[in-house]
Chain A
Amino acid sequence: MYGLLDISTSGMVAQRTRVEVATANIANANSILNPNDDNEPFRRRMAMLAPGDPQSGNPLGVHVSQIVLADGDFRQKYAPGHPYADEQGYIYTPDIDITTETVNAMEASRAYEANVMAAEATKAMLAASLRILA
């Protein structure tokens, strides 16, 4: 029975990371500069989940294997007079769809809740097993 809570915990960590990634995408939906103030629009992040835990070698559980940056074109926005506009008067903004990110965050938080329920069930079972002794 021991080590059972680790599985649910790994699920919670992975789903929390997904929510974090989605909220970071939403927060940066209009970021057209990189941290060094250069004109490089924010690229959408995606959390890639994979089964198992490579650190402990446990085949059960889940982990975030990598956070991938989306490649692809940025959105063109006509804004003449903008300090970062090109010769044609366009600026480039991140290709982030707020609706998609919100739905992803909602889905991840539901999956997080499912893991919490599983952890609660594990706790109840462990407590019941311990009560046999008492």
Chain B
Amino acid sequence: MLDGLLNESGIDVLERTIQFAGQRHRIIVNNIANLSTPNYRPTDVDAAEFRQSLAKALKKRHATHPGLRSSAPIRPKDTADITFTDHDMELKPRPKGEGILFHDRNDRDLEGLMGELTENTLTHRTATELLRARFATLQMSIRERV
């Protein structure tokens, strides 16, 4: 019953998004720390693939559990970089190889990294704010008072 209540308003989707943003942040921060390390190649996971996998899983749940009573927890399919488990995920970052290779054999892209950092932080912030709002609604219904 609690599962149904919690999954109904997309809390599990937000949970997955926060998990992903949190783990990806570690990768981006590590890339920034190694900006001038010789032979280091910045790594990343494909965020677009994560979003697609999550959207597909959400669509599937709507199809199998129509209406609001969608109590089945969401379970996105694994992508090339991400392995999903029941309540967690594992990211396997790979070298991107997109930037210009410098003389120290590091293909850093500072602007790209900072862009990703900002985007990822905003994704995390949006998801946490939405989750907060969901919890506030739940709390309100528990208290039965506005």
Contacts and interface: CB of A to CB of B under 8 A. Distances in A.
A63 to B, nearest CB: 9
Given A51-B40, A61-B30, A114 B113 contact: yes
A125 B34 contact: no
Instruction: Decide if the interface of chain A is mainly helix, strand, loop or mixed.
Output: helix
Q: Interface SS of chain B: helix, strand, loop or mixed?
A: helix
A7 B29 contact: yes
A110 B113 CA distance: 14
Contact of A118 (B18, B117, B131): B117
A34 interface: no
Nearest to A49: B37
A69 interface: no
**Interface range on chain A: under 10, 10 to 19, 20 to 34, or 35 or more?**
20 to 34
A8 B29 contact: yes
A11 B36 CA distance: 9
Given A118-B28, A125-B121, A131-B128, A49 B22 contact: no
A60 interface: yes
Interface string B14-42: 00001001100110111011111110100
Given A1-B22, A7-B26, A114 B35 contact: yes
Interface of A: 1, 4, 7-8, 10-11, 14-15, 18, 48-51, 60-62, 107-108, 110-111, 114-115, 117-118, 121-122, 124-125, 128-129, 131-132
